[in-house]
Structure 1
Amino acid sequence: MPDLPQHRPVLSDARYNGMSGSGLGLEALPEGHLLHVLGAIEPPALAAELAKAGLANSSIRKAGFRQWFVAGNAPLSSVSLDALAAALAGKAVVMDQSHGRVRIGVSGRSSRLLLSKGTVVDLDPTVFPEGESAMTMLGHISVQIVRTGDDSFELTVLRSFAESLWDELTHMAASAEKDSVSRLSLP
């Protein structure tokens, strides 16, 4: 029997161990599960169905009209996916995107400054509160940005663009750090 391909997290090399300093943190998040749900179901009803399927710790993020991403750190069992698909039958369709997308965490007091260098989304907390999400471009790469806390965000990107996005974020972080130092030295 031929060897089957083995899953290897895309951001698992030493250079992706995370970055922190100067009010900014960057980390590769666990490649748990990411589901794309499409249909006429509202988030509260979806949350109830997720809880029944054993996915209560997952978060629901708006991904478009009648579309949501359901993300979580734990790997998804086929039993949970089948249970959720059966529960949503007639209301919504669920597609497992876990193999095709990667999540990156950006945190710290300079996180908004960093992300503002690559996107036009207004990340001010009064406009983009915790739990809010937006499908957008970060530089030339399509991402979903989710505010997960006061100074923390999660970026979801297609797996094939994860390393490029990481490199872009580290480049922008160096630039953001310089800007932060420049502002402190102004009279």
Structure 2
Amino acid sequence: MPDLPQHRPVLAGTAYSGISGAGIRLEALPEGHLLHVLGTIEPAALAAELAKAGFTNSSIRKAGFRQWFVAGNEPLSPAGLDALTTALAGKAFVMDQSHGRVRIGVSGRYSRLLLSKGTAVDLDPSVFPEGHSAMTMMGHISVQIVRTGDDSFELTVLRSFAESLWDELRHMAASAEKEGA
């Protein structure tokens, strides 16, 4: 039916195809799945239930007290969501946020310098190790920052703020590369 809305990735198009400089790379990550899990389940038990439900390539990120985001590049299948919801019944609630949030990758030797221009979170590896996450503000936009490697991070932002955040990151990247050079 032609009148049904068609999914279009929010950061699609040439303006958002990725920015790669001498020390910084920005990329729009696949709009796969993002689940918000709330409950008393511990991360290890959540990981086991995710594996049983077929979410083997998903990562768990702390999003607050007894709250996690489960993120992955693969699109969410209704059967997988149903299996996870059933497995977590009585332990946690699952809410699909895939349609409402976007992930942006920030990497390179100046990635911490870039991010420090927008947030007060201390991103030094000794206090913010790989796998660590924090809910914070980047300027005026609420984001979750996750360290995914030595010099790589992932930002999760509400879909309606993704283009604005991208533009802010692009400007901060140019400034960070000048400072770092």
Q: Same fold (TM over 0.5)?
A: yes
| Structure-1 separation of matches of 2:68 and 2:74 | 18
AA in 2 matched with 1:144: Q
Counterpart of 1:118 in structure 2 is 118
Counterpart of 1:104 in structure 2 is 104
Counterpart of 2:46 in structure 1 is 46
Secondary structure of the residue that 2:25 maps to in structure 1?
strand
RMSD between superposed Cα atoms in Å:
0.8
| Structure-1 separation of matches of 2:55 and 2:150 | 25
| Structure-2 separation of matches of 1:2 and 1:155 | 34
| Structure-1 separation of matches of 2:177 and 2:79 | 46
| Structure-2 separation of matches of 1:90 and 1:6 | 35
Secondary structure of the residue that 1:115 maps to in structure 2?
helix
Counterpart of 1:166 in structure 2 is 166
Query: Percentage identity across aligned positions?
Result: 84
| Structure-1 separation of matches of 2:99 and 2:68 | 17
Per-residue deviation, 1:179: 1.1
Q: What 5-or-longer segments of structure 1 have no aligned partner?
A: 182-187
Counterpart of 2:83 in structure 1 is 83
Which is higher, the Rg of structure 1 or of structure 2?
1
Cα deviation, 1:68-127, whole Å, max 9, x if unaligned, reads 000000001000000000000000000000000000000000000000000000000000
Q: How many residues align?
A: 181
AA in 1 matched with 2:76: L
Counterpart of 1:153 in structure 2 is 153
Secondary structure of the residue that 2:165 maps to in structure 1?
helix
| Structure-1 separation of matches of 2:86 and 2:67 | 18
| Structure-2 separation of matches of 1:55 and 1:161 | 27
Counterpart of 2:30 in structure 1 is 30
AA in 2 matched with 1:77: S
Per-residue deviation, 1:178: 1.6
| Structure-2 separation of matches of 1:24 and 1:173 | 7
AA in 2 matched with 1:66: R
| Structure-2 separation of matches of 1:82 and 1:6 | 24
AA in 2 matched with 1:125: P
| Structure-2 separation of matches of 1:56 and 1:22 | 34
Runs (4+) of structure 1 exceeding 4 A deviation are: none
Counterpart of 1:59 in structure 2 is 59
2:82 matches 1:74: no
Per-residue deviation, 1:21: 1.1
Per-residue deviation, 1:2: 6.3
